[in-house]
Structure formats: structure tokens, C-alpha cells
Amino acid sequence: MGLFDGKKGLVLGVANDRSIAWAIAKTIMDEGGEIGFTHLPDRPDDEKQKNRRRVTKCTDQYPEQTKFVVPMNVQDDEDIAAVMEKAKQEFGEIDFLLHSIAFADRDDLSRDTVETSREGFKMAMEISAYSLIAVANAAKDIIKENGSIATMTYFGGEKCVPGYNVMGICKAALEAAVRYLAYDFGPRGIKVNALSAGPLKTLAGSAAGVGEMLTMYQDIAPLCRNITHDEVGRSGAFLLSDFSNGITGEVLHIDGGYNAMGSPGRLLDKVRQLQAENQ
């Protein structure tokens, strides 16, 4: 008997087999769940459909539990509505929805936050924060009572993480949206939460300089190590399952305890050791 036997839902935003969304989806399907997936639309001139192929390379491992794989542009309400209609036709109702969508122009990410362009800010905020509101609104008529909605955030939405820049502002807005959506959906018993994962080698992580962050987290986090995809996968599945009933409006950190630290901790010992060696 799997944790998700008889459960059906949507996973929005898998990019490839290193995506956190895929780690969560894989855990859900291993526990018996059925899923409809969306992916970033391919360009009309991309005959190879690279975005779709990256996702189907993952979902082909679960042919019976993958019910559909379709493109979705979260900047288009009609596109979002079409995905929800597809889910309604396939499932009738859904038990869970995972939102794992974020984007900012690389030029804006590489600038100091104060230099973020107006158009870049609007686009990043629309895709990375408003899209959660848009898909939750579109799904409200098909998600069951006592269902679950979850999204992906990062510590840079709580504290300044140099290099994360405009995306940190977007994640702060996303986390605020989680709290307000939790209130809106609360009367129906529907939980709305966010997962704040530490750095992982993902497509999005590569744009945020994840390599240096991995070293820093390992040195500072109380667990003295980095997290794994499997750990985030299990935590995400927990928030989308009945086991998390009673939890809503929360940000669950999966970062080895890094967020709990008020100082560099054991990293100071390494610094002192290097100083002593260089004297």
C-alpha cells in the first residue's frame, strides 16, 4: 500500500531529471500516485522539441502513472485553463498540485539588484510569483477538499543572498502568496505550503552559482553536509500527502539546518586554522 495509492495530481515545471520537481514527482509515483506533467513550451522552430524530450525522458520511466505531458505558458491564462481542463478530463478531480516554476533574465540576475530592469522585474515577478496565484485560481474547481498545493522557494527570499538578486525578491513575494492562499483555501481543508531547499545541482541552480554555495552550506550547516535530491523528493511528497494535514502557510526548510544558523559556525574554525597556518 503506497502513500499515494489512488491519488492524482499535477506537477508543473519539471525541466529535466535533475529538477527538484522531478525528485518529488518520482517519489509520489513510487508511492502509487498518478500525475499529469507540464513543461516549458518549445519554440516553434525547435523541431527536436528539446524541452518536451527532457521531460519525457523522465516520465517514460513511469508509463502507467504518467497520464499526460503538455506544454504550459504561465504568462497565458488561456494556456493555464487548457491544462486544467486536460486534468479535469483525465482525473475529474486532483488531490495535489506542485508548482515549480521560476524565471528571471540572466542579465538581470548578473546585475546588482539595484540595476534590475523594469521589464525584467515585471517578467520575473509574473513568472516566479504570480504564476502560483494564477494556477491555484485555475485549479480551485478541480482540487479536492483536503488536497494540497506546494511550491518551491529558497532562503534568498528570507535573507539577502548575494548573487540571487531579483529572484530573492520574487521568492519573498512567492512566500507571501503562500500565506494568503493558505487562508483562501483553508475553509476547504486545502493546504498551501512551500519547500525551501538548499543548493542542488539543477538547471536553475547553475544560473545562481550553486557550486560555491554547495561548499559554503557544507561548512556552515549543522549537519555538515549538503542535502540530496531524494531528501527533497521525500519532503515534497510529505507536504503533498495526507501526512501533512494540519500544516499550511508554512515554509519547510530542507537545507541541513543552514537557515537556523546566526553565524558561520564551524566555518570559523576553518578560517582560524588557515590563519594560524599562514602566520
Of the candidates 102, 11, 26, 17, the one whose C-alpha atom is nearest the C-alpha of residue 54 is 17
Q: What CATH code would you report for 8-277?
A: 3.40.50.720
Residues 6+ apart with CB under 8 A from 21: 11, 12, 13, 14, 15, 98, 100, 152
Confidence at 265, pLDDT banded by 50, 70, 90? confident
pLDDT given for residue 44 in this prediction: 85
User: Amino acid identity of 118?
Assistant: R
Q: Is 62 considered catalytic here?
A: no
Q: 101-142, pLDDT tens digit by residue?
A: 999 999 999 999 999 999 999 999 999 999 999 999 999 999
CA distances from 27 to 4, 14, 33, 241, 272 (A): 9, 14, 9, 11, 42
Q: Is 217 considered catalytic here?
A: no
pLDDT given for residue 209 in this prediction: 57
Percent of the chain whose pLDDT exceeds 90: 84
Q: Which of 62, 130, 164, 258 is catalytic?
A: 164
Q: At what angle do helices 50-59 and 20-30 cross, to 10 degrees?
A: 30
- The residue with greater pLDDT, 201 or 247, is 247
In 151-224, where does DSSP find H-type helix? Answer: 166-185, 203-207, 210-220
DSSP 186-205: GGGT-EEEEEEE---SSHHH
Q: 33-67, pLDDT tens digit by residue?
A: 999 999 999 988 887 899 999 999 999 999 999 99
Residues 6+ apart with CB under 8 A from 97: 9, 10, 12, 135, 136, 139, 143, 147, 148, 149, 150
Q: Where are the domains of the chain?
A: 8-277
Q: Which of 62, 154, 183, 217 is catalytic?
A: 154
Confidence at 254, pLDDT banded by 50, 70, 90? very high
pLDDT at 202 over 70: no
C-beta of residue 173 within 8 angstroms of C-beta of residue 215: no
